[in-house]
């Protein structure tokens, strides 16, 4: 099933709903996924800019710091 057909099927299901609480829950779910995606995109963009400015740290240094800070989680 392609995306256009899936959207039409989803619209049909939503149009047939009679439960207002469920409709609100679906709206909230869709909006929260959109918001989350935007927050993630923003965080990734910030990280990339930071790396371009050579403000990042090497992976092995990050892992060493994490192991020192949270040693009880590493064996």
Whole-structure pTM value: 0.47
Residues 1-38: pLDDT tens digits?
Answer: 799 999 999 999 999 999 999 999 999 998 888 787 88
CA 15 to chain centre: 27
Residues 34-64: pLDDT tens digits?
Answer: 787 888 999 999 999 999 999 988 899 999 9
Rounded to 10 degrees, the C-alpha dihedral 57/61/63/64 comes to -150
């Amino acid at each position: 099933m392609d995306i256009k057909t899936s959207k039409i099927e989803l619209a049909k299901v939503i149009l047939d709903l009679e439960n207002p609480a469920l409709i609100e829950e679906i709206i909230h779910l869709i909006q929260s996924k959109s918001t989350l995606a935007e927050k993630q995109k923003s965080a990734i963009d910030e990280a990339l800019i930071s790396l371009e400015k050579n403000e990042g740290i090497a992976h092995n240094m990050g892992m060493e710091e994490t192991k020192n800070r949270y040693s009880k989680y590493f064996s």
